[in-house]
Amino acid sequence: MDEDGFWRLVDEARAGSSALDESTVGRLRVLLDGLSPRSTLDAVRIHDELVRRAYTWDLWAAGYLVGGGMSDDSFWDFRQWLIAMGRATYERVLADPDALVDVSTDMEEIDSGLGEIYGYEFVQAAERKQLEVPTGEAGSDEPRGEEFPEDDDDWFAEHFPRLWAAVRA
């Protein structure tokens, strides 16, 4: 499986849904279970790379703004949710975290607890097939970019004007 195949899998699991819900997670599980061992490990590897790619201070700041705070665990869940939203959304928000405003500013949707479950489905599919999954924390070390000032409203308004306006409205 290559990255295009991974994103087709994500889209098929979403089945046109604009939100991450339990049925999306269930469809992902069925799809992953139907993959060959090699493709399952490819999916795990690609998923981990996408999680690492999204490990940036700017993205964390956008999530922090929407949530009124965001722990490192919540940021991991947030990145799972972003992957579940599909390639176009993932790439758009990664390139411009202010574009999160076009997807959702509803923290209950973003941090419903399903992001965590969605993310673990990849490794669990490999484990169900008794495959050896390479270890390594997706997104270990420090996020890329410049750390954001958590209590500086002016900084958030300058860096994420649309998101700031939506959250503060």
pLDDT at residue 113, as a whole number = 77
- What is the C-alpha separation between 145 and 92, in angstroms, rounded? 17
Which H or E run includes 22? Answer: helix 22-33
Integer distance in angstroms from the first to the last C-alpha of the chain?
A: 43
pLDDT at residue 19, as a whole number = 80
pLDDT at residue 5 tops 50: yes
Coil, helix or strand for 165? Answer: helix
Is the pTM higher than 0.75? The answer reads: yes
| DSSP assignment string, 40-79 | HHHHHHHHHHHHHHT-BHHHHHHHHHHHT---HHHHHHHH
Per-residue pLDDT reduced to its tens digit, 96-152: 999 999 987 666 667 667 888 999 999 999 999 999 887 765 545 889 999 999 999
Percent share of the chain, pLDDT over 90: 75
pLDDT at residue 140, as a whole number = 54
124 token code pair: 């669990």
